[in-house]
Structure 1
Amino acid sequence: MPFLDLADGNSLFYKDWGNITGPPVVFSHGWPLNSDNWENQMFFLGNQGYRVIAHDRRGHGRSSQPWSGNDMDTYADDLHQLFVHLDLTNATMVGHSTGGGEVARFLGRHGTARVSKAVLVGAVTPLLGAIRTNPDGVPLSVFENDRKTLRENGRAQLFWDIPAGPFFGYNRHPENTSLALVQSWFDQAMQAGFVNVYDCIKAYSETDFTEDLKKTEIPVLVIHGDEDQLVPVETTAKRTVKLLKRGQLKVYEGGDHALPNTHVERVNGDLLDFLRS
Structure 2
Amino acid sequence: MSTIKVKDGTEIYYKDWGIGQPIVFHHGWPLSGDDWDTQMMFFLSQGYRVIAHDRRGHGRSGQSSQGNDMDTYVADIAELTTALDLKDAIHIGHSTGGGEAIRYVAKHGMGRVAKAVLISAVTPIMIKGESNPEGVPMPIFDEIRKGTGFSRSQYYHDFTTAFYGYNREGAKVSEGIKNNWWRQGMMGSVKAHYEGIKAFSESDFTEDLKRVEVPVLVLHGEDDQIVPFHQAPKAAKLLQNGTLISYPGFPHGMPTTEAETINRDILSFINS
Same fold (TM over 0.5): yes
Secondary structure in 1 matching 2:14: strand
Identity %: 49
Aligned partners of 1:18 and 1:47 also within 8 Å: no
Name the structure 1 match of 2:147.
149
Name the structure 1 match of 2:22.
24
Aligned pairs (5 A) from 1:35-184: 35-151=33-149, 153-163=150-160, 165-173=161-169, 175-184=171-180
Secondary structure in 2 matching 1:186: helix
After TM superposition, the runs of 4+ consecutive aligned structure 1 residues lying more than 4 A away are none
Name the structure 2 match of 1:192.
188
How far has the Cα of 1:272 moved from its partner?
Answer: 1.1
How far has the Cα of 1:173 moved from its partner?
Answer: 3.4
Aligned partners of 2:70 and 2:100 also within 8 Å: yes
Name the structure 2 match of 1:202.
198
Deviates more, 1:266-275 or 1:50-59: 266-275
Name the structure 2 match of 1:274.
269
Aligned partners of 1:118 and 1:219 also within 8 Å: yes
Question: Amino acid of the residue matched to residue 250 of structure 1?
Answer: I
Question: Amino acid of the residue matched to residue 8 of structure 2?
Answer: D
Select the residue among 203, 213, 220 that pairs with 1:217. Answer: 213
Q: 1:118-151: per-residue Cα shift (whole Å, max 9, x none)? A: 0000000000111332121011110101112234
Counterpart Cα distance in 2 of 1:269 and 1:175: 22
Counterpart Cα distance in 2 of 1:23 and 1:108: 20
Uncovered stretches (5+) of structure 2, i.e. residues with no partner: none
Aligned partners of 1:112 and 1:218 also within 8 Å: no
Uncovered stretches (5+) of structure 1, i.e. residues with no partner: none
Q: 1:8-30: per-residue Cα shift (whole Å, max 9, x none)? A: 101000000122xx000000000
Name the structure 2 match of 1:245.
240
Secondary structure in 2 matching 1:67: coil
How far has the Cα of 1:275 moved from its partner?
Answer: 1.3
Q: 1:134-187: per-residue Cα shift (whole Å, max 9, x none)? A: 121011110101112234x42011100110x21001112364111111100000
Counterpart Cα distance in 1 of 2:221 and 2:7: 37
Name the structure 2 match of 1:12.
12
Secondary structure in 1 matching 2:117: strand
Name the structure 1 match of 2:223.
227
TM, length-normalised to structure 2:
0.98
Q: Structure 1 residues 175 and 272 mapped into 2: Cα distance closer, same or farther (>3 Å)? A: closer
Name the structure 1 match of 2:3.
3
Select the residue among 257, 268, 271 that pairs with 1:262. Answer: 257
Counterpart Cα distance in 1 of 2:232 and 2:27: 17
Counterpart Cα distance in 1 of 2:143 and 2:189: 19
Question: Amino acid of the residue matched to residue 58 of structure 2?
Answer: H
Q: 1:41-85: per-residue Cα shift (whole Å, max 9, x none)? A: 010100111000000000000000111101110000000101100
Aligned partners of 1:169 and 1:257 also within 8 Å: yes
TM, length-normalised to structure 1:
0.96
Question: Amino acid of the residue matched to residue 9 of structure 1?
Answer: G
Aligned partners of 1:227 and 1:253 also within 8 Å: yes
